[in-house]
Amino acid sequence: MGISFYTFHGLSYVIDIYKKRITPSNNFIEYSVFVSFFPLLVAGPIERATHLLPQIQKDRKFDYAKAVDGLKQILWGLFKKIVIADNCARYADMIFENHSDYSGSVLVLGALFFAFQIYGDFSSYSDIALGTARLFGIELLRNFAFPYFSRDIAEFWRRWHISLSSWFRDYVYIPLGGNQGGTFVKVRNVLIVFLLSGFWHGANWTFIAWGLLNAIYIIPLVIFNTNRTNLEIVAKGKFFPSIKEVLAMLLTFSFTVFAWIFFRANSINEAFSYVSGIFSESLFEFPSFPNAALCIPLVIMIVLFMIIEWMGREEQYAIAKLFRGKPKAFRWSFYYLTLLVIFIFAISKKQFIYFQF
């Protein structure tokens, strides 16, 4: 259990010693806690010895403010997992497993449901892990930074599974030469990183195709040195984005959702069959599937979820400073309402997607 994550921890520890970034720990217990710290063991984030070991080595005292902040992040993680991810999974699973029975418009809905499922599922685990660690006075690396508000694929990968992306950047991409050198070197390095990322997710051609698609998306940005254009969060300091930013976000999100089809499909043939089903005349039909009306409350929850994420996009997590300055009764009403919604939408237990990687 957790083999890939403690392998990443062990590798980075040895490499950082070799590169003289850190000195070896002389305390086996401290090292063991770093490698197998329980909140992040099964699905990350992937920690670095330079970041986590010093926190383990120093004395810590219970901090009430940190604990409150940690509990809020855990609450938001539970909302994302139970309300968004698990309920989206019901419809995504149904549509993907029976994709040949549905119109192109329904298949688009299935891909969208999976996009919100995997984001809600994976980022929720990270929220719960970070919040739990904060109860112990430990600050883990941030793993998600509102990736669906990205304006290009390079920005998306700076905001999605940040600890894995940065691990591949620091220990694979840069040692290979990074973006220094000719066009061939840049393209080669990007392909290696994304194909490795795909292969890490599983020995299935679907993951290789998913990695290759993302490499194809990002290669033009790397070649023309526009991959670091969007470093700040979108519409920083403003509530509404510009039309250009909206279009850029929609285009990036569309590319991402298309790639997720290959990630979710059981086989490469199924993925191509799903895509061909989308690009058919039935794409323009009104989406219809069994019990379609039952997903309306879920769609409303997704919309509300994205509004709250947008409002809190400049913070570490969406509700970190939501309703700041409002009366205590107002804030607590929101927390209890969130708990109530979690209980109402709770369905049969769904395993975290990234437990399998």
Take residue 87 and report the two structure tokens written for it: 């309920």
**CA gap 131, 69 in Å, rounded:** 7
Per-residue confidence (pLDDT) for residue 287, from 0 to 100: 87
Take residue 341 and report the two structure tokens written for it: 């919604």
Residue 357 pLDDT class (50, 70, 90 cuts): low
**pLDDT tens digits for 211-236?**
999 999 999 999 999 999 999 999 99
Take residue 147 and report the two structure tokens written for it: 């990736």
Cis-peptide into 45, omega within 30 deg: yes
Q: State yes or no: pLDDT of 202 exceeds 90.
A: no
Q: Is residue 319 within 8 Å of 308, Cβ to Cβ?
A: yes
* Averaged pLDDT for residues 131-141: 95
- Catalytic pick among 9, 99, 161, 201: 201
Take residue 110 and report the two structure tokens written for it: 């299935």
**CA gap 14, 8 in Å, rounded:** 10
In this structure, the chain runs to a length of 357
Phi first, then psi, for residue 58 (nearest 5°) are -90, 160
Per-residue confidence (pLDDT) for residue 162, from 0 to 100: 96
Q: Is residue 72 within 8 Å of 251, Cβ to Cβ?
A: no
Take residue 263 and report the two structure tokens written for it: 């990630």
Per-residue confidence (pLDDT) for residue 351, from 0 to 100: 75
Per-residue confidence (pLDDT) for residue 4, from 0 to 100: 80
Percent of the chain scored above 90 by pLDDT? 82
Residue 348 pLDDT class (50, 70, 90 cuts): low
Per-residue confidence (pLDDT) for residue 3, from 0 to 100: 80
**CA gap 227, 204 in Å, rounded:** 29
* Averaged pLDDT for residues 309-328: 92
**CA gap 318, 328 in Å, rounded:** 18
Per-residue confidence (pLDDT) for residue 238, from 0 to 100: 94
Does 201 qualify as catalytic in the annotation?
yes
Residue 291 pLDDT class (50, 70, 90 cuts): confident
**CA gap 271, 277 in Å, rounded:** 10
Q: State yes or no: pLDDT of 355 exceeds 90.
A: no
What average pLDDT does the structure give for the chain?
93
Residue 139 pLDDT class (50, 70, 90 cuts): very high
Of 147-156, 197-206, 250-259, which range is least confident? 197-206
**pLDDT tens digits for 27-64?**
999 999 999 899 988 888 999 999 999 999 999 899 99
Per-residue confidence (pLDDT) for residue 2, from 0 to 100: 72
**CA gap 302, 296 in Å, rounded:** 10
